[in-house]
Structure 1
Amino acid sequence: MERRERIIASALQVVADGGLKGLTHRAVDRHANLAEGSTGNLFPRRDDLIHALLTHLGDRDKELFRQAEEVRVSAPHQVAALLTRGVQRMVAADNAALTRVRLAMMPANPSEAGEFYRGFLRNLERTLTRAGADDVEARSRAVMDYLDGVVFHALTIDPRPIDTDMTERVFLLLITE
């Protein structure tokens, strides 16, 4: 792994484990098993490191959005199933750390968080329109609120696996009722 990628991966894990307050050059160096000062050579200021993390997450989001656009749904139950699979992916062991990083960074970086949210919302609105939903703007916001709540709850409060049947039913209700 290239040094820059190694530092970014370590920084993501540091934030996932200890929140944004724990993000220091020294903590990243320790996590990456690099000599002290290595992170500072590539990212002189903490803000440079935070910007690199946000860029990394943004690039990952764009790829996920691209993949989601390729999945064509034509019925509300398909949208509900797709959203449920998305929630499962966000809280799965291999993605939970990145999702925690996003949650930790959102309040500290509202402009980037807003860009992510608006992009997700636009994709959801297009998907609901294709699925024939009415009042797409209100339904999209309600779906996003529920999705955020399920993810937050799963990552912070309740370690049990997500009840996918119930989650899918609630998404379907939000889309159709």
Structure 2
Amino acid sequence: MATRNAPSTPRTELIADAALRLLAERGMRGLTHRAVDAAAGLPQGSTSNHARTRQALLETAVRRLAEREAAVLAMDELPPALGGEAGGDLLDALTLALHRYLTTHRALLVARYELALEASRRPELREFYDRAGSRFRTPLNALMAASGSAEPERHALSLIAWCEGLMFSCAVGSYHSAVPSREELRTGFGELLRGMLGTGTGPRA
């Protein structure tokens, strides 16, 4: 999370990070231009100057959410394919990314759920939200194809759905106090991917 008074932090990032923090702490009703100014430690009117409408403020939050999720999940650091010697490396990378999200970025998940629900009610935000999310789906589809998947889009969807279900349950659901260990997550990824691809990507012996 951005430091409030760091001089190197662009004002737009201060505003967006404050908006995400408010969404996690107070929900959609707590997201106002005035509240963002206060949370970001900026003069009154700063947020309105950057994002004059609520739609613009929501788009700012979605854009920043995608940037921060990219840093947490580090999709560009994943090995290029499953199977062979790369299989273990990929499982380790997926496991680390998901465990990092569940243990140190829960507030970001809550903010994402707030924005996803709002997008379901605002067609103009829905389009923007989906476009921002495509930066994760596209490389994952390519990864599954490179791994030998006969149906990369369907397998990518299954992998995303498994991760999303786990994140929801462990962030705000009935398992919120029982985050799986890295080894448990690795086992789960291995079982899922082995079932899809028939490769030797199961848990360590």
- TM category (shorter chain) comes to 0.7 to 0.9
| 1:117-162 Cα distance to aligned partner (Å, 9 max, x none) | 4432332222223333444333222111110011111211313332
CA distance in 2, matches of 1:40, 1:124: 36
What is the percentage of aligned positions where both structures have the same residue?
23
Picking from 20, 28, 34, the partner of 1:20 is: 28
CA distance in 2, matches of 1:123, 1:111: 19
CA distance in 2, matches of 1:116, 1:39: 21
Report which of the two has the higher share of helix.
1
| Pairs within 5 Å for 1:18-167 | 18-60=26-68, 67-72=74-79, 73-75=81-83, 76-93=87-104, 95-109=105-119, 110-157=126-173, 158-167=176-185
Aligned positions, number: 175
Per the TM alignment, residue 106 of structure 1 is displaced from its structure 2 partner at its CA by 1.5
**TM-score with structure 2 length normalisation?**
0.71
Return 5+ residue gaps in structure 2 as ranges.
1-8, 120-125, 196-205
Aligned 8 A contact 2:170 2:178 in 1: yes
| 1:33-65 Cα distance to aligned partner (Å, 9 max, x none) | 334333223222222211211222334456678
CA-based RMSD: 2.6
Q: Which secondary structure does the structure 1 equivalent of 2:166 belong to? A: helix
The structure, 1 or 2, with the larger RCO (C-alpha pairs under 8 Å, 6+ apart) is 1
Amino acid at match of 1:149: G
**TM-score with structure 1 length normalisation?**
0.81
